[in-house]
Amino acid sequence: MRLFIAVDINSRSKNLIDKKLDLIKTDLKSHFKWVNKDQWHLTLKFIGESSEAEKNKLIEALKNIEFISKNRYINFNKIDAFPDLERAKVLYLAVDEGEDFLKNLHQNLEAELKKYGFAKSDRNFIPHLTLGRSKNGPLKINDKFRDPNFINIFAEIKAVTLYQSNLKPEGSEYIKLISI
């Protein structure tokens, strides 16, 4: 089974973000495959293919992570892209306020998972909410979407969740296995 660990945000914030994105979705509809808002999350660690025993170790490790979710908010303040806005392949919302909290949580998670035999990620952790992926290769994003006032939404962090990801022709399906 394919697994990853992510942070969930509240539904109200997802709805606000979705409404703000109507304009960009209309403009870029033919260029991007959009992630359904019900699937939105901020990935902390992609695990990949895992056995049942590894899944159980992940659950145990998650229970040991110090995560204070009460009144924990983050702020999405701009649209950005991987590798960049000039050659966008993945469009995402960048985190402003709360970025340090998420980076700290990621480091704590990596340290705890190492105790259970999971390798540390060699990628630089960039907290983000993936909105869509390019259908036809890189695309330059219009300047009107680069305005930092275009998006400015606070979201409450609801939980840290272990997900199973099932790849399907219509897109990935995410199944929550455990939330803390």
Q: Is 41 a catalytic residue?
A: yes
Give the span between the Cα atoms of 67 and 140, in whole angstroms: 38
Backbone φ and ψ of 112, nearest 5°: -70, -45
Tokens for 42, please give them. Answer: 């901020």
Tokens for 116, please give them. Answer: 């259970």
**16 contacts: CB under 8 Å, gap ≥ 6:** 153
Q: Tell the residue number behind the tokens 């939330």, with chain if given.
A: 179
Q: Is 106 a catalytic residue?
A: no
Question: Which residue type, as a one-letter code, is found at position 23?
Answer: L
**18 contacts: CB under 8 Å, gap ≥ 6:** 37
**Which of 14, 41, 45, 78 is labelled catalytic?**
41
- Say if CB 103 and CB 156 are below 8 A apart: no
**Which of 128, 134, 145, 162 is labelled catalytic?**
128
Residues in the chain: 180
Give catalytic residue positions: 41, 128
